[in-house]
């Protein structure tokens, strides 16, 4: 049993490494970066040069909403000589391996068969590396390792590790603290033993969340539901699409609003996990069912708590941020565990039938595990677009901008604005990537800047152009070659959120002064 444990744990770790290395291979280009890292990492370049992004609204905002632990780990890496943009590409490997280990351990607490831990790790890794959460190297990358760590130590009734994991959750991804607190509440209500652990954990969770709320006070005006409903940004085709007329999409599978944001790979995982309740009634046919212990209840506690916070998030839009953040991650974990257990029970029964002798069984199990290790590279390489890596198209532009004074302000409506802070280390007035509307005291400034930039760029009156430059102290104005065409404006999903300005701009294109450009 010990040899099988070591083999399956090692295989789980190797699985995490193989998925991570396959993803890392896609990011090696000098001007390639993960999509969300453009928001959450660019400002960390201040660690090497404090003169960068001074008085920069965008940098100040993303710095203010970044949890303290996230800042510290990048600071430590930078002190060791690993620059933020490089560390961002390495971090998923470290977090992914830790996630694989903890998921393996959690699965064995529920069902002490090592092969189930391996299958659970394989399935979760598959899911994570066909999405852009773990690979982003942003605060939400830490959800899985910190939540699974908490669950593991909770199942083992280990007080100090539980409290430590709750504190770390608050330092890296505070929303997960609410889910952990909910699970502690359920146990405090339903369990007679271990109440000191649950109560102490709750106190730690409350204190942790309170400290985080104080940290983000600089931008604390969360957008109201009434305001959000008036903005095209929150509707289909908007920058932060949330609302939908389709109830099925909105409540179940919507990326931001759904309880179970839809991805095709869920079918593979669900098809096995959903069989477990039925298989568990057939212990006389599937002997491994008897190894499932009472700790399986943690799965329904995770799902129930996630649903409660999901519902509360909908009721309090957008004060608890996005509802799907409370369900999508935990659902993936629950499904991976259930599916890993179910697969093991079914495969064990199958092996019993076709290989009644023990040495043959061990050979088959080893062959299955080794075959499964061939899968990660294929999975990642077959669907690279799901990881969200983006590559800048004009490296020469960023090299040129990097040679300019560090305090320049750049105005542009082009795609290059999304890359300039990361690759040129210079400030932009506005850009699609930074138009995140959830804190109104930040976004109303970004929105106004974008409206003013559209109006100035397409105004037939040179005075408007000069006034805009003076108002925002613009040093460089970058304009795409096809910018003065109606198609350019009509096909840009970000700019189409500003319809009054865009319609006026299209009308102005007929003006001789504009058309001449």
For residue 327, give the 3-state DSSP assignment: coil
Tokens 């890392």, residue?
24
Torsion-angle region of 237 (φ positive above 0: left; ψ -120 to 50: alpha; else: beta): left
pLDDT at site 382:
57
Residues 6+ apart with CB under 8 A from 494: 239, 432, 435
Neighbour tally for 451: CB within 10 Å: 16
pLDDT at site 372:
67
Tokens 């090696």, residue?
28
pLDDT at site 27:
81
Give the max Cα distance, the chain: 88
Residue 65 and residue 439 in contact, taking contact as beta carbons nearer than 8 Å: yes
pLDDT at site 373:
65
Tokens 């609302």, residue?
243
Q: What is the token pair recorded at 111?
A: 């069902």
Closest CA to 95 of 139, 53, 159: 139
pLDDT at site 359:
67
Quote helix, strand, coil % in the chain, to nearest 5. 70, 5, 25
Q: What is the token pair recorded at 346?
A: 């079914």
Closest CA to 314 of 238, 234, 260, 257: 257
Q: What angle do CA 388, 489, 394 make, to 5 degrees?
A: 50
Closest CA to 52 of 400, 414, 396, 404: 404
pLDDT at site 179:
97
State how far the Cα of 362 lies from the Cα of 352, in Å rounded to an integer: 11
Query: Dihedral (C-alpha) 223, 318, 188, 280: value to the nearest 10 degrees?
Result: -160
Residue 85 and residue 45 in contact, taking contact as beta carbons nearer than 8 Å: yes
pLDDT at site 383:
61
Closest CA to 40 of 86, 1, 84, 7: 84
Task: Measure Cα distances from 509 to 431, 458, 462, 464, 469 in Å.
Answer: 22, 7, 14, 15, 21
Q: Is 247 exposed, middle or buried (0-12, 13-18, 19+ CB in 10 A)?
A: exposed
For residue 246, give the 3-state DSSP assignment: coil
Query: Rounded to an integer, what is the distance from CA 162 to the centroid of its chain?
Result: 23
DSSP 8-state secondary structure symbol assigned to residue 224: P
State how far the Cα of 258 lies from the Cα of 242, in Å rounded to an integer: 9
State how far the Cα of 31 lies from the Cα of 29, in Å rounded to an integer: 5
Task: Measure Cα distances from 213 to 59, 169, 206, 242, 468 in Å.
Answer: 19, 14, 11, 24, 36
Residue 351 and residue 361 in contact, taking contact as beta carbons nearer than 8 Å: yes
Residue 301 and residue 190 in contact, taking contact as beta carbons nearer than 8 Å: no
**From first to last of its 517 residues, what are the pLDDT tens digits of the chain?**
567 889 899 989 998 898 888 778 778 888 999 999 999 999 999 999 999 999 999 999 999 999 999 999 999 999 999 999 999 999 999 999 999 999 999 999 999 999 999 999 988 988 888 788 899 999 999 999 999 999 999 999 999 999 999 999 999 999 999 999 999 999 999 988 889 999 999 999 999 888 777 665 677 789 999 999 999 999 998 999 999 999 989 998 898 999 987 665 555 556 678 888 889 888 888 989 999 999 999 999 999 999 999 999 999 999 999 999 999 999 999 999 999 999 999 888 888 777 666 666 667 767 776 776 666 556 556 566 667 899 998 999 999 999 999 999 999 999 999 999 999 999 999 999 999 999 999 999 999 999 999 999 999 988 999 999 999 999 999 999 999 999 999 989 899 999 999 999 999 988 655 554 4
pTM score, two decimals? 0.93
pLDDT at site 192:
83
pLDDT at site 237:
86
Residue 449 and residue 429 in contact, taking contact as beta carbons nearer than 8 Å: yes
Residue environment code for 38-52, b if the CB has 16+ CB neighbours within 10 A, otherwise e: bbbbbbbbbbeeeeb
């Amino acid at each position: 049993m010990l040899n099988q444990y070591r083999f399956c744990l090692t295989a789980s770790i190797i699985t995490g490494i193989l998925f991570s290395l396959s993803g890392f291979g896609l990011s090696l280009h000098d001007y390639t970066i993960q999509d969300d890292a453009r928001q959450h990492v660019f400002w960390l370049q201040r660690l090497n040069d404090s003169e960068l992004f001074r008085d920069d609204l965008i940098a100040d905002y993303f710095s203010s909403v970044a949890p303290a632990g996230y800042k510290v780990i990048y600071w430590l890496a930078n002190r060791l000589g690993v620059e933020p943009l490089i560390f961002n590409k390495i971090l998923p490997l470290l977090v992914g391996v830790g996630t694989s280990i903890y998921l393996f351990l959690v699965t064995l607490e529920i069902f002490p068969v090592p092969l189930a831990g391996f299958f659970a790790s394989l399935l979760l890794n598959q899911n994570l590396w066909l999405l852009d959460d773990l690979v982003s190297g942003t605060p939400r990358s830490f959800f899985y390792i910190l939540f699974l760590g908490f669950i593991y130590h909770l199942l083992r009734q280990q007080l100090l590790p539980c409290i430590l994991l709750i504190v770390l959750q608050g330092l890296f991804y505070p929303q997960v603290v609410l889910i952990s607190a909910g699970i502690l509440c359920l146990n405090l209500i339903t369990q007679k033993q271990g109440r000191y652990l649950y109560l102490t954990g709750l106190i730690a969770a409350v204190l942790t969340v309170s400290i985080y709320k104080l940290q983000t006070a600089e931008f604390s005006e969360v957008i109201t539901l009434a305001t959000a409903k008036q903005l095209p940004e929150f509707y289909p085709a908007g920058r932060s699409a949330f609302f939908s007329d389709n109830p099925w999409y909105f409540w179940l599978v919507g990326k931001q609003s759904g309880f179970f944001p839809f991805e095709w790979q869920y079918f593979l995982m669900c098809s096995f996990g959903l069989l477990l309740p039925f298989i568990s009634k057939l212990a006389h046919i599937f002997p491994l069912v008897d190894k499932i212990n009472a700790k399986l209840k943690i799965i329904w506690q995770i799902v129930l708590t996630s649903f409660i916070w999901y519902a509360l998030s909908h009721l309090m839009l957008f004060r608890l941020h996005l509802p799907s953040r409370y369900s999508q991650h935990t659902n993936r974990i629950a499904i991976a565990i259930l599916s890993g257990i179910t697969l093991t029970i079914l495969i064990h029964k199958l092996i019993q039938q076709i290989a009644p002798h023990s040495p043959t069984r061990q050979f088959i199990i080893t062959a299955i595990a080794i075959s499964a290790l061939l899968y990660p590279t294929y999975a990642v390489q077959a669907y690279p677009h799901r990881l969200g890596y983006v590559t800048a198209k004009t490296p020469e532009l960023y090299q040129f901008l990097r040679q300019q004074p560090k305090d320049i302000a750049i105005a542009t409506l082009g795609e290059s604005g999304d890359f300039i802070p990361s690759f040129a280390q210079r400030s932009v007035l506005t850009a699609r990537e930074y138009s995140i509307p959830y804190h109104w005291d930040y976004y109303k400034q970004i929105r106004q800047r974008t409206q003013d930039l559209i109006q100035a760029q397409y105004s037939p009156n040179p005075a408007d152009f000069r006034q805009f430059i003076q108002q925002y102290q613009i040093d460089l104005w970058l304009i795409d070659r096809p910018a003065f065409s109606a198609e350019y404006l009509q096909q840009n999903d970000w700019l189409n959120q500003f319809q009054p300005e865009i319609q006026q701009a299209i009308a102005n294109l007929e003006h001789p002064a504009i058309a001449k450009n």
